[in-house]
Structure 1
Amino acid sequence: MHEMWCGADASGEPVWHVLTTDKTLTLCGVDKREEPRNQAVDKHCLPCMKAFQAVMASTTS
């Protein structure tokens, strides 16, 4: 199962990433660090979401 994690994107803005199954990295390759606190996040990491879509497509075929 994959989980979401709130971290920074390349510009430093907080976004939701998708974690690898071992929960140590994001699907786009960002190291998991502490989550930003007290920030409302309404954006998703596009590279993570594309990678997650590919993972899900490969498990259903």
Structure 2
Amino acid sequence: MHEMWCGTDTSGEPMWHVLTADKDLTLCGVEKREEPGGREKADRHCLPCMKAFQAAMASMKS
């Protein structure tokens, strides 16, 4: 099962990432740290994470 995590993009803005099974990294390779504080939740998703998640789901169907 995959889990979403609110991290940041390269500019520090909040963004949803997809975590790996061990929940230490994101599918795009970002190390999981604390969620950005003092900000509203993100409404953006990490495109590399979403592409990797889509590929993982497609491979499970095969």
- State TM-score, norm by structure 2: 0.92
Unaligned segments of structure 2, at least 5 residues: none
**Structure 1 alignment gaps of length 5 or more:** none
User: Per-residue displacement from partner, 1:4-37 (whole Å, max 9, x unpaired)?
Assistant: 0000112211100000001000000000000113
In structure 2, C-alpha distance between the alignment counterparts of 1:18 and 1:40, rounded to whole Å:
15
> Number of aligned pairs?
61
| TM-score computed with the length of structure 1 as normaliser | 0.93
CA RMSD of aligned residues (A): 0.9
**Structure 1 residue ranges, 4+ long, deviating more than 3 angstroms after superposition:** none
